[in-house]
Amino acid sequence: MLDDNEIHPLFAGAPTTTSFKKLRKRLIRQTREAIEAYGMIERGARWLVCLSGGKDSYTLLAILTELQWRGLLPVEILACNLDQGQPGFPSSVLPEFLERMKVPHRIEYQDTYSIVTDKVPSTKTYCALCSRLRRGNLYRIAREEGCSAVVLGHHRDDILETFFLNLFHGGKLAAMPPKLVNDKGDLFVYRPLAHVAEVDCEKFAAAMKYPIIPCDLCGSQDGLQRQQIKRLLDGWETNSPGRRQVIFKALTNGNPSHLLDPAMFDFAGLRRNSIKPAEKPKNP
């Protein structure tokens, strides 16, 4: 379906190597799979695509824009960056990039950094409160812009890390859903990169030479539990290549009757002879 000789203007100067073409096709295929599998498309809808300046959000914007350009994503895209006032944040990078690429966008400034540093002790990580404040502002912007969905760049590895964080520290089986409705019930939250590996986002953004903005401007990233989980997964992947994908597949293949949650499966109501044995195939 994808012609190697055609590419969205956003990809001007993209590598012409076979490896890059395969990577691009894989990203497009996996993103389409997630969009279709989780029912994200409302024809004619408007999406607020959140752009932080990291490798994941650049990849998200590029792939969604190409799908839209090819007529495979019948929605309107509005890129949005929320400048949260972190010291050293290069505020001109994203506006200049989006203008140069002719991508419709909105840049919003809200000094949530000062709120976070005032509320959170310097010995604690800022991420949780920073994320809540960011999400609240993005919901507001989406409503102001007439968008039906806030679209985030979380990928497969983010989902796996969240699963193990909940498992080890929260005592529950829960991951990061690819599609949800916000608490007010008026907006969708989509994660179209749910099937995409982090390493592919990294390779893609590096190959495209996107102006990456690091997520360590606030200096609170060291020692996070998520980083510990990432290192654990890295170790498993090193010893057993493909382990991440196997675990991810398990998240798509749940079996409530083989877990222990009576709210998910009616163990009390289970009766002998209530389940019919599978029929044996008839002889030809």
For 55-90, the pLDDT digits (tens) are: 999 999 999 999 999 899 999 999 999 988 888 888
Strand order in the sheet with 46-50: 105-109, 76-83, 46-50, 149-151, 188-190, 179-181
| pLDDT higher at 274 or 56 | 56
- The CB density around residue 204, as the number of other CB atoms within 10 Å, is 23
- The residues facing 107 across adjacent strands are 81
Residue 14 burial by CB count (10 A; 0-12/13-18/19+): exposed, middle or buried? middle
In which element (H, E) is residue 78 found?
Answer: strand 76-83
Residue ranges of domains in the chain, CATH in brackets: 9-258 (3.40.50.620)
Long-range Cβ pairs for the range 238-244 (8 Å, 24+): 244/156, 244/157, 244/160, 244/197
Q: Above 60 in pLDDT, residue 1?
A: no
**Cα 279 to Cα 21, 272, 282, 284, distances in angstroms:** 46, 18, 9, 15
The three-state secondary structure class of 146 is coil
Joined tokens for residue 6: 């055609």
The pTM (predicted TM-score) of the whole model is 0.88
In whole angstroms, how far apart are CA 238 and each of 160, 195, 232, 243? 16, 20, 10, 9
CB 53 within 8 A of CB 95: no
* Each residue's pLDDT tens digit, 132-163: 888 999 999 999 999 999 999 999 999 999 99
Q: Which pLDDT belongs to residue 2?
A: 45
Among the listed residues 141, 156, 86, the one whose alpha carbon sits nearest the alpha carbon of residue 117: 86
**Residue 276, pLDDT score:** 64
Could you read off the pLDDT of 188-246 as tens digits, one per residue?
A: 999 999 999 999 999 999 999 999 998 765 555 544 788 899 999 999 999 999 999 99
Distance between CA atoms of residues 270 and 15, nearest Å: 58
